């Protein structure tokens, strides 16, 4: 029985990790192309969304690690020093570092990071609202709910509005 429970737990974690990777990969395909000079900010945003509920799940940690591998060693070190509990500095930097044309794809990537576990609580909503405000974008909680519903129904996100996966 113990072997069964451990194997099931490993399978569930692997399935969730693959969903995270697929959703984030799809969402970030256009964002990475557009925001390649700002990938550090995207990864930090993923971190803050993942820890907003007070815990970092194994699949979230694995997802972050896979995106960290894309960074050069110096950039990876910079990001690691900024993975802290307080998102205030990150919110300040996104408001000044990102050109206006990157605000929408950047915010979408962060919104997917919030929705990928199919549960967006009050801390994540507050962080999304703060990020949207800093980027001069409207915040619509129903958009995040639509992402969660699509992930629940399809297991992945489909392309809409001319972007790779929104």
pLDDT at 155: 65
pLDDT at 24: 66
pLDDT at 53: 87
pLDDT at 150: 82
Mean pLDDT by 10 residues, the chain (166 residues): 86 75 68 75 93 86 86 94 92 93 90 84 95 96 87 66 36
Q: For residues 157 and 151, is the Cβ–Cβ distance under 8 A? A: yes
Structure tokens at 111: 């919104």
Number of H helices and number of E strands within the chain? Answer: 8, 0
Q: For residues 76 and 43, is the Cβ–Cβ distance under 8 A? A: no
């Amino acid at each position: 029985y113990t072997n069964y429970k451990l194997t099931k737990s490993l399978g569930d974690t692997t399935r969730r990790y693959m969903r995270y990777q697929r959703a984030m990969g799809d969402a970030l395909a256009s964002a990475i192309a557009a925001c390649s000079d700002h990938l550090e900010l995207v990864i930090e945003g993923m971190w803050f969304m993942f820890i907003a509920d007070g815990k970092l799940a194994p699949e979230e940690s694995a997802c972050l690690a896979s995106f960290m591998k894309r960074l050069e060693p110096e950039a990876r070190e910079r990001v690691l020093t900024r993975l802290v509990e307080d998102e205030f500095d990150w919110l300040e930097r996104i408001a000044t570092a990102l050109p206006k044309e990157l605000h929408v794809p950047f915010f979408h990537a962060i919104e997917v990071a919030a929705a990928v576990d199919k549960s967006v609580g009050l801390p994540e909503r507050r962080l999304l609202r703060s990020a949207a405000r800093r980027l001069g974008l409207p915040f619509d909680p129903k958009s995040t709910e639509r992402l969660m519903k699509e992930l629940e129904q399809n297991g992945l996100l489909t392309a809409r509005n001319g972007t790779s996966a929104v």
